[in-house]
Structure 1
């Protein structure tokens, strides 16, 4: 089974930059998106072979997630069931026979870390949500998790120690998640691979020079890690400031 995750930074804009070309080429069984910035009816989407699931933010043109799945899941749920977290369209959970798929767009701590305290609350609540699912069956988490976990995961770690996405607080929360029984699929297969980034700032010609961050992930329950066949980063695919990432699992 092949799964794709992509922060499209506005699906309507990404459609105008070749989204469907990549979608058809990837031919994924499950295709997850973050930062869709739209409602279902705001773009022409004709996918007879896929089930569609959408979670849009209350605020128009902001955040949002979606999943296209060839296989109809047992059930679909949205958000975390916690009032303070459930207005930005950040989580879709699909239950299949042998696993839960969770598509997530983690809140950004923002400039000057104005949302860091909220981010810490989100991290704790989201981790407990995943642990609860994992008690029932294995979990596959994907999405833009808005953190570069280790120094190897961004080009300029020293310069970004106090910036959103690389604070010690955020990195510690990722460590806590992994220590709760989960595995970063890419680092499991490629523990020392450098220059493997999934997001680049639009400033300073960052993508051309590959001055990026790895903040998009597939994370799985430890007990299904042996089923991972590949974890890929499609750095060559344009259309967003993020590139797609993939997980192949049997």
Structure 2
């Protein structure tokens, strides 16, 4: 009578599947070993037929896939992999601007805990607030996304069922969520208005279940740059997490970040992050 949900930015589904060496067997091997019932994926970066081809062994083993590709080829894309039968699937959140860009998908699932809606989110990274045209455009895009998506989350929180939104939020909510927070005060993902947006969600019916389960810990981080010694030094960001509504958050009993044992065992620059609900 438990439910394990994992969220992971796969950093390109085809690359994650092919990322193999003598020691690293990629995403498919991870799925084989995983105890997850549902895996929420981001940055699939493929059309659905390409994703299904890459995931064919897992789909043959009984996993079901629902996904939303981006109209921009090779960009974004979100999906739900489930060992449980998927019910109704909804793509996007009612935004003409963002729904075609592979940023959000939700699916209804019947679980041992009762009717549940699971959703995968890939929130735009944005940019620092500068005068450069490119930065201004990315900064403004993220603001528009936060405004529109925040309204949808308000609706989701009121559903009379369990709801969880997992994904790459591209926002570290607080200082313990970045190793070098002092050096990132002006970085996208840690800007004041972004952190305030998350704080407002946590005051309006949502719970950051991993943080609630470990309120006094730094991290654990879920993303590390490929460059330098960021991974080896655990100099990361906690930007992948699950927000659950009150009914499901009350059932959260364990949270785990599946950090690779070594740099060359990684098949993404993000680590899968799981929550057990019981």
Instruction: Report the TM-score, using the length of structure 2 for normalisation.
Output: 0.86
- Tell me which residue corresponds to 1:99: 116
CA distance in 2, matches of 1:44, 1:11: 7
Match runs of 1:225-236 below 5 Å: 225-236=249-260
Match runs of 1:144-159 below 5 Å: 144-159=168-183
Contact 1:130 1:139 in 2 (8 A): no
Contact 1:148 1:215 in 2 (8 A): yes
Match runs of 1:70-81 below 5 Å: 70-81=83-94
- Tell me which residue corresponds to 1:249: 277
Q: CA RMSD in A?
A: 1.5
Contact 1:195 1:210 in 2 (8 A): no
Contact 2:157 2:206 in 1 (8 A): no
> Which structure is larger by alpha-carbon Rg, 1 or 2?
2
1:196-226, Cα deviation, whole Å (9 max, x unpaired): 1000112222111111000000110123222
CA distance in 2, matches of 1:214, 1:44: 28
Contact 2:40 2:119 in 1 (8 A): no
Contact 1:2 1:249 in 2 (8 A): yes
1:4-37, Cα deviation, whole Å (9 max, x unpaired): 1110111111112211111111132111110010
- Tell me which residue corresponds to 2:246: 222
Contact 1:8 1:242 in 2 (8 A): yes
Instruction: Report the TM-score, using the length of structure 1 for normalisation.
Output: 0.95
* Structure 1 position 33 matched with structure 2 position 41: yes
Structure 1 residues not aligned, in runs of 5+: none
- 1:195 CA displacement: 4.4
- 1:133 CA displacement: 2.2
- 1:99 CA displacement: 2.1
